[in-house]
Amino acid sequence: MKKKHNYNKLGLLIGLVGVLAVILGAFGAHSLKATLPPDRLITYNTGITYHFYHLIAMVFAWISLVDDSSRWARRAFWCFLIGIICFSGSIYLLATRDLLGLVHYRWLGPITPIGGVFFILGWSFLGLSFYHRSLN
């Protein structure tokens, strides 16, 4: 029963990450459109795009976890979440840094590729979870 409860918590987390993606996307499309220069709005939308793509990947990892309880799927799930936070999160902050007063936070730039590495790891782990399923 505890495993099922944990899967439900991960499903709830997926829902929350999805809600955040929609809210941030709407905020960018409606509120930031008038205040951000076009190049920064494009950057912000890149964060939204990757946020949604990897939210869908989290769903695939979650389905694999529920069905198989694979350690690779679990790793993929968490890598996708960390990637969203690091990659998309840093892009959101970089695109809006003038509005948020984060101009001097130079450490934000290097966080983006770290998020990209987590995305790569997540996809690799998801592939390994499917591969190991085929061996059983």
Q: What is the pLDDT along the chain (136 residues), one digit of tens a residue?
A: 456 657 788 999 999 999 999 999 999 999 998 899 999 999 999 999 999 999 999 999 998 887 767 889 999 999 999 999 999 999 999 999 999 898 888 888 899 999 999 999 999 999 999 888 777 6
pLDDT, position 103: 84
**C-beta atoms surrounding 95 within 10 Å:** 23
pLDDT, position 2: 54
pLDDT, position 4: 61
Give kind and range of the element (H or E) at residue 25. helix 2-26
Q: What are phi and psi of 101, to 5 degrees?
A: 75, 35
> Scanning the structure block, which residue is given the tokens 């968490």?
78
- Between CA 51 and CA 115 the distance in angstroms is 11
